[in-house]
């Protein structure tokens, strides 16, 4: 779903800092070689993730849903000198592709890329996180949120992608599909969670930002 006029969207992108050569290459390779390239954060959202990370200056980031590694590389730009990002994904078929770009980047030593089931892995993580980015299977968004919440520092942030679900979250007629209902429930959960302050940004497919009090 296009949330603003395409010409206005193009204008915004033109007036947004460029992605690096490596990210541009990853962007192209994802669209040419990987299924469902729409899942990529891409230039505009990637610069948002980079700037947010640079504002927060996180020491520890957790990403749930690596895909081809674009968003992890963007968020890594804001890590502290001794910072680390743990990024979890279940798709082993993309592992070699993703690792090649991580190794080519300036952040290889800071990115801990794990092929695993996030629902099983998260309970074993001992770190406290300054920033969490949820961008995986929608059916588990609420579960991921609940699993990571106590692992987020006070003043830390939980970002969640695709929360507008191509605009389906405001659907009022016809049968609401399961993923849409789950995202509606997720958005309501955060809106009603007194432990956070939050804002839902209509960027691409919607980004929810929740700050733990």
Q: Is residue 149 part of a domain?
A: yes
pLDDT digits (tens, 9 = 90+) for 112-171: 999 999 999 999 999 999 999 999 999 999 999 999 999 999 999 999 999 999 899 998
Residue 37 — φ and ψ, nearest 5°?
Answer: -60, -15
pLDDT digits (tens, 9 = 90+) for 21-30: 999 999 999 9
Q: Is residue 1 part of a domain?
A: no
Which range marks the domain in which residue 176 is found? 6-212
Domain CATH number, residue 105: 3.40.50.150
Q: What band does 37 get if pLDDT is binned at 50, 70 and 90?
A: low
CB burial readout 22-36, b (16+ within 10 A) else e: ebeebbeebeeebee
Structural domain count, the chain: 1
Asked whether the whole model's pTM tops 0.85, one would answer yes
């Amino acid at each position: 779903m296009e949330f603003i006029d395409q010409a206005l969207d193009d204008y915004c992108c033109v007036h947004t800092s460029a992605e690096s050569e490596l990210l541009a290459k990853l962007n192209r390779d994802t669209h040419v070689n990987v299924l469902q390239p729409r899942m990529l954060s891409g230039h505009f959202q990637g610069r948002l993730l980079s700037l947010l990370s640079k504002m927060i200056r996180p020491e520890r980031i957790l990403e749930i849903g690596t895909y081809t590694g674009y968003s992890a590389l963007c968020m890594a730009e804001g890590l502290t000198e001794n910072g680390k990002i743990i990024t979890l994904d279940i798709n082993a078929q993309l592992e070699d592709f993703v690792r090649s770009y991580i190794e080519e980047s300036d952040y290889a030593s800071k990115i801990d890329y794990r092929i695993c089931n996030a629902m099983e892995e998260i309970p074993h993580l001992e770190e406290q996180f300054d920033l969490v980015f949820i961008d995986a299977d929608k059916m588990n968004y609420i579960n991921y949120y609940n699993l990571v919440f106590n692992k987020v520092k006070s003043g830390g942030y939980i970002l969640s992608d695709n929360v507008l679900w191509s605009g389906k979250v405001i659907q009022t007629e016809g049968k609401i599909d399961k993923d849409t209902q789950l995202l509606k429930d997720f958005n309501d959960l955060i809106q009603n969670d007194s432990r956070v302050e939050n804002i839902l940004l209509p960027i691409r497919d919607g980004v929810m930002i929740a700050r733990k009090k």
